[in-house]
Structure 1
Amino acid sequence: MGNYRFILSGGGTGGHIYPAIAIANELKKRYPTAEFLFVGAKDKMEMEKVPQAGYQIEGLWISGIQRKLTFKNLMFPFKLISSLLRARNIVRSFRPNVAIGTGGFASGPLLRMAAGAKVPCVLQEQNSYAGITNKLLASKAKSICVAYDDMERFFPANKIVKTGNPVRQDLVDLEVGKDEASAHFGLVPKNKTVLVLGGSLGARRINQLIEKELEFFKAKGIQLLWQCGKLYYEDYKQYESKTVKVHAFLNDMAQAYAAADFIISRSGASSVSELCLVGKPVLFIPSPNVAEDHQTKNALALSSKGAALLLKETELDAKFQSVFAELLTSENTQDELSQNIKKLALPKATQHIVDEIEKLLK
């Protein structure tokens, strides 16, 4: 069992950082003496989240291309050259056995330089519509771990392995009952509960919808467990009541999922993977403001299989009440959604990704 060195890069959003940390944790379990180094973008959240998880990180001066002509775009060639040179130095001095990229801009220069130095590379693509960085790196990778079918549109078929996305271990072992979880949040166990998730920062449009529909939920006898996000907590905490529990952030997601009968959520890759494990009826409201509209594509991949409901932000005013009322009254629909979404769960994703990495260790 050699002293292996693993270099991991991914970031910009939690959706890229969290899988990289989960993969590192699994590798560490198998190779306790291994060394790890993360590489991220200097001003992004990975610079804070990765050290919190106990790993060392180096930052590159890189950012994405903006959609319009800005000063940032004019700087892009300089940032790219600077990042490539820095990445080359990091690879040379760390001498990794394998490089792992989970998407996001920093992984571009790092994996490009690792591949150039003959380091075997593994990519992990979380979304049903591949990100630009991973598409550019595909030709250099030995193995590409994906979470959805039909990814041959983006990657060479012989490199694709369907593993699923890493998910939090406490959700794999979900053992909390509804009664206990409801009590934890001060809710009544026998009443139906809707869990509202807009991501860690919150989702303005989902919050506006819930605020507008508070009377509708009340009339239907529905309790709300509402994660409004830390950016919006001050605006919405006034709605806290016996039947509406407003939180800036829910630290105990296992309890929150257990308390819920229905879930309203964004459709980022890690949320979708978690919700497949949870197996409750879900209504996805994708964020339209993300690269290549991948949240809508993630949600469509499930709704087209009868595994979730999907409403675009533009449809909420016209359709939300009728769609949700129908879900509440049809136990058939509830059962069908639950069963179909559970079929898509891949609880051993992290182990399977690390199995692929192990094949490359010389």
Structure 2
Amino acid sequence: MKPYKVIVSGGGTGGHIYPAIAIAKEIQARHPDAQFLFVGASNRMEMEKVPNAGFDIEGLWIAGLQRKLTVDNLMFPIKLISSLWKSHQIIRKFKPDVVIGTGGFASGPLLKTAVWNNIPALVQEQNSYAGITNKLLSKGVEKICVAYDNMETYFPASKIVKTGNPVRSDLLDIDSKRTAALTKYGFSSANRVVLVLGGSLGARAINELISKQLPLFKELGVQVLWQTGKLYIDTYMHLASDTVRVMDYINEMDLAYAAADIIISRAGASSVSELCIVGKATLFIPSPNVAEDHQTKNARAIEKEDGAILISENELDKKFDLVFTGLINDEKVRLKLGRNIKKLALPNATQDIVDEVEAIIKNTK
């Protein structure tokens, strides 16, 4: 049997890139002779992250539409035609058995071209609110792997498979790592730890909140592991102390999660999936600056199951002090939130998605 040939397209943010890489690595583990090609947007972070993970990548000249009239918006039709043409060339040259899309600017033209060329395709939708690209692609692809219930609102029910979102395997057993985690960050086991996450670039509203609330944390005896993001590290590094660790990026996320008693986080799809696996009390502060406000919808889906607390950015001044103080002082509530969010975890997502990929290839060969 000839080696599998797989094109994977996903990028723009880590939430699209890391699931794409995880899926490719699982296929590679099962089929060591498989051949891979990633397709991304030529000026986005996937052009660095994918080669670092050991895969080849081709870039398309594509970008998303902005919410206001810009030169980039006026260029969009030209970029789209260029990307469709290059996608056609890539597919004709590589001759894939299957094309997998995990979202991002490049996945639209690439998967659309695959469908036009009768190449079987699979889409992985991470969010509880489907993006416009995946909605447009849904009629032509073979399967749509989702992480939330009730996605029939956006996709044909017959094509939906609930798999969850790929997460790092090192998060599956963090309880055994707590002592090592506290040692790594120099924290005391006698005091609670709050982990603050705003994404790899950082979240301005969350960083401003934490800097303002440091006196409250000190009063409550709370230790802080604070990922500011690389855009904000210079602004907040001076606030580091014996009980406050300030970092631009956390590489060993399993240890960060293991150290935490409470987690303050954005609500991107990958973060939500990781936090379900981790099973710690979580306070979501969704970004309001994303397409279709999907982070709020992701967080609300967890809050509805009594698995997390949601505070919108415009409510932080009114609510945060009271909510956080109550949470830090009530272990029963923290444990309940942790148990409930963990019930929503889908730890076998990567394997289940690759099962679907294999089935598609076998059914079309």
In the superposition, the TM-score normalised over structure 1's length comes to 0.98
Residue 59 of structure 2 corresponds to which residue in structure 1?
Answer: 59
Question: How do residues 110-189 of structure 1 correspond to structure 2 at under 5 angstroms?
Answer: 110-174=110-174, 176-189=176-189
Structure 1 residue 336 and structure 2 residue 346: aligned? no
What SS class does the counterpart of residue 138 from structure 2 fall into?
helix
Q: CA deviation at 1:112?
A: 0.6
Residue 10 of structure 1 corresponds to which residue in structure 2?
Answer: 10
Question: How do residues 195-274 of structure 1 correspond to structure 2 at under 5 angstroms?
Answer: 195-274=195-274
Q: Output the CA distance in 1 between the equivalents of 2:187 and 2:358.
A: 46
Structure 1 residue 323 and structure 2 residue 323: aligned? yes
Q: Output the CA distance in 2 between the equivalents of 1:147 and 1:213.
A: 34
Q: Output the CA distance in 2 between the equivalents of 1:177 and 1:41.
A: 37
What SS class does the counterpart of residue 302 from structure 1 fall into?
helix
What SS class does the counterpart of residue 140 from structure 1 fall into?
coil
> 5+ residue gaps in structure 2?
none
Residue 47 of structure 1 corresponds to which residue in structure 2?
Answer: 47
Amino acid in the other structure paired with 2:46: E
For the 8 Å contact 1:183–1:189, the answer to whether it is kept is: no
Amino acid in the other structure paired with 1:134: N
Q: Output the CA distance in 1 between the equivalents of 2:271 and 2:71.
A: 34
Q: CA deviation at 1:51?
A: 0.5
Q: CA deviation at 1:328?
A: 1.8
Cα shift readout 1:193-240 (whole Å, capped 9, x = no counterpart): 101111111111101001111111111111101111111111111111
What SS class does the counterpart of residue 306 from structure 1 fall into?
coil
Q: Bigger CA drift: 173-182 or 130-139? A: 173-182
Q: Output the CA distance in 1 between the equivalents of 2:172 and 2:259.
A: 16
What SS class does the counterpart of residue 127 from structure 2 fall into?
coil
Amino acid in the other structure paired with 1:63: A
Residue 76 of structure 2 corresponds to which residue in structure 1?
Answer: 76
Q: CA deviation at 1:174?
A: 2.9
Q: Output the CA distance in 2 between the equivalents of 1:315 and 1:112.
A: 41
Q: Output the CA distance in 1 between the equivalents of 2:192 and 2:350.
A: 33
Q: CA deviation at 1:333?
A: 1.4
Q: CA deviation at 1:291?
A: 1.0
Q: Output the CA distance in 2 between the equivalents of 1:175 and 1:352.
A: 25
Cα shift readout 1:70-99 (whole Å, capped 9, x = no counterpart): 111111111111110110111011000000
Amino acid in the other structure paired with 2:49: K
Amino acid in the other structure paired with 1:318: K
For the 8 Å contact 1:123–1:134, the answer to whether it is kept is: yes
What SS class does the counterpart of residue 128 from structure 1 fall into?
coil
Q: CA deviation at 1:331?
A: 2.5
Residue 303 of structure 1 corresponds to which residue in structure 2?
Answer: 303
Q: Output the CA distance in 2 between the equivalents of 1:180 and 1:187.
A: 10
Q: Output the CA distance in 2 between the equivalents of 1:317 and 1:174.
A: 33
Q: Output the CA distance in 2 between the equivalents of 1:299 and 1:77.
A: 34
Amino acid in the other structure paired with 1:253: M
Count residues with an aligned counterpart. Answer: 362
Q: CA deviation at 1:337?
A: 0.4
Residue 25 of structure 2 corresponds to which residue in structure 1?
Answer: 25
* Percent of aligned pairs with the same amino acid: 62
Question: How do residues 268-283 of structure 1 correspond to structure 2 at under 5 angstroms?
Answer: 268-283=268-283
Q: Output the CA distance in 2 between the equivalents of 1:69 and 1:201.
A: 25
Q: Output the CA distance in 2 between the equivalents of 1:165 and 1:336.
A: 23
Cα shift readout 1:7-39 (whole Å, capped 9, x = no counterpart): 010111111111100000000011111100000
TM superposition outliers: structure 1 runs of 4+ over 6 Å: none
Amino acid in the other structure paired with 1:4: Y
For the 8 Å contact 1:194–1:223, the answer to whether it is kept is: yes
Q: 1:52 to 1:160 in 2, by over 3 A?
A: same
For the 8 Å contact 1:181–1:255, the answer to whether it is kept is: yes
Q: Output the CA distance in 2 between the equivalents of 1:86 and 1:62.
A: 11
Amino acid in the other structure paired with 2:50: V
Q: Output the CA distance in 1 between the equivalents of 2:167 and 2:358.
A: 20
Q: 1:100 to 1:128 in 2, by over 3 A?
A: same
Q: CA deviation at 1:248?
A: 1.0
Residue 353 of structure 2 corresponds to which residue in structure 1?
Answer: 353
Structure 1 residue 312 and structure 2 residue 308: aligned? no
What SS class does the counterpart of residue 124 from structure 2 fall into?
strand
Q: CA deviation at 1:175?
A: 5.2
What SS class does the counterpart of residue 102 from structure 1 fall into?
strand
For the 8 Å contact 1:288–1:295, the answer to whether it is kept is: yes
Q: Output the CA distance in 1 between the equivalents of 2:99 and 2:93.
A: 14
> 5+ residue gaps in structure 1?
none
Q: Output the CA distance in 1 between the equivalents of 2:191 and 2:174.
A: 21
Cα shift readout 1:106-134 (whole Å, capped 9, x = no counterpart): 01111111111111100000000001111
Amino acid in the other structure paired with 1:216: L
In the superposition, the TM-score normalised over structure 2's length comes to 0.98
